[in-house]
Amino acid sequence: MINSMTGFGHYEVVDGSRRAVVEIKSVNHRYLDLTIKTSRRITSLEPKFRSFLKKNIGRGKVDAYVHFEESADETFSIHYNEKLARGYVENMKRMAEEFGLDYDVSVSTLASYPDVFELVREEEDESELEEFIRPALEGALERFFESRRLEGANLRSDLLEKLEECSELVAQVEELAPTIIEEYKARLTQKVYELLEEKKVDESRIAAEVTIYADKICVDEELVRLKSHVKEMIEALSAKESVGRKMDFLAQEMNREANTILSKSTDAKVAALGISLKTLIEKIREQVQNIE
């Protein structure tokens, strides 16, 4: 079953003071264009998240957001820099003695000096942190895939309808082709008789002219290829693997055959059918752009 390249998945994991939120969304793109944004706290894990997503997503412009937060009182501690504080005190005492000043430094004053007290983040086990976030990543990815599958099912139904309509148009052109030649032969014969009146008409010359005309407007090869491409597309819509690029190529080939039919057309009915074919194939191409 085909998948759309448009998708969205959101998942959240909460455990006490910790919370992980992952959001994945995508639109169509020729290749895989993956962008990941993470909280500053888990920037070091970004390469692992990227590797995991690249293994699972085939194509599309994908944006992934991985957010992690934890209560500050459980992840920070206050560090007293005793050596630095002692250095401040000793230098201020020396300054007081050297300039004859009163030594009036209080604890609160000393505590306000830079880096005497520091807010330090406690060391974290990166693998444990990854293990906590992983279910949120997997959950968002599964919902993302489900979104793509649902959209893919809608795309498949729409494309099957369009391909069936395409087959009907091809059949109509195929049915008209022989009548166009017969009509041309009848018109040509009539004109020759009118010009020559009672004189003898060279039937072989008329046959030769009709043959040249028939060869000029013949679209048998184009119709055969169109039918073949439609059949391949229908088969691809039931494939399990990614078929977006293949279907894009087939749609381009179908458009080429429709253009050739139009360029060879000298009949208003066939021209109208050719235009309808081109319009329909263009719609198919637009839809195919969304298939993974």
Distance (Å, whole) CA 82 – CA 105 = 16
Is there a domain that residue 265 lies in?
A: yes
60: left (phi over 0), alpha (psi -120 to 50) or beta: left
Residues 162, 255, single domain; the answer is yes
- At 260 the pLDDT is 84
* pLDDT score of 122: 60
Domain match, 58 and 88 both: no
Tokens of 164: 């069936």
Task: Name the pTM for this structure.
Answer: 0.68
Q: Which of 158, 150, 169, 124 lies closest to 261 in space, CA to CA?
A: 169
Domain assignment present for residue 77? The answer is: no
Calculated CA dihedral for residues 265, 269, 272, 273, nearest 10 degrees? -90
**Residues 260 and 159 both lie in one domain:** yes
Residues 276 and 212 in one domain: yes
Q: Is 175 a domain residue?
A: yes
Residue 23: CATH number of its domain: 3.30.230
Which amino acid is located at 247 in the chain? Answer: M
Residues 14 and 137 occupy one common structural domain: yes
Task: Give a yes or no: residue 256 inside a domain.
Answer: yes
In a domain, 76, yes or no: no
Residue 201 DSSP SS3: coil
How many contiguous H segments (helices) and E segments (strands) does the chain have? Answer: 9, 6
Structural domains counted in the chain: 3
List, for residues 195-224, the tens digit of each pLDDT value.
555 556 566 665 665 555 555 556 777 888
Residue ranges, the chain, pLDDT below 70 = 72-76, 119-124, 178-218
Find the domain containing 97 and state its range.
82-115
pLDDT reported for residue 190:
59
Whether residue 163 is found in the same domain as residue 283: yes
Instruction: Please list, in sequence order, all residues whose beta carbon lies within 8 angstroms of the beta carbon of residue 83, skipping any fewer than 6 positions away.
Output: none
pLDDT of residue 144: 97
Does 46 share its domain with 136?
yes
